[in-house]
Amino acid sequence: MKPIKLSSVIGNDYTYSLTTSYDGELVNTLRVSDMLEAVEAWNKCVDHGNAKEYATYNLSDPTGKMYTKNFYADGRVVIR
């Protein structure tokens, strides 16, 4: 499966941030002010992408709450 390209910045006024890390290395950051766009991108994070061992996706909202998904190459999934 090809990696999801989630790179977009809408001005400097954003309230949501979605980061993608493969094996502990940051590979992409999406910053948007629209909640629906952030959720749509979050819903596309469904596997370990190009990571050798694991992928981590972090979604931060305007209140500072962070949601995390970890997908491992062996099939394990952890969502917090």
Q: Which residue has the tokens 């061992």?
A: 53
Q: How far is CA 44 from its chain centroid?
A: 9
The SS3 call for residue 10 is: coil
Kindly give the pairing relationship between strand 66-72 and strand 25-32: unpaired
pLDDT value at position 2? 43
Pure H helices in 1-80: 35-43
Torsion 29-32-38-44 (CA) sign: negative
Answer yes or no: is pLDDT of 16 > 70: yes
Predicted pLDDT at 7: 45
Kindly state the average pLDDT of the residues 2-31.
77
Distance (Å, rounded) from C-alpha 46 to C-alpha 71?
A: 8
Average pLDDT over the chain reads: 88
Mean pLDDT is lowest, of 4-18, 21-35, 61-75, for 4-18
Identify the DSSP state of 59: E
Q: Is the pLDDT of residue 44 over 80?
A: yes
pTM of the entire predicted model = 0.81
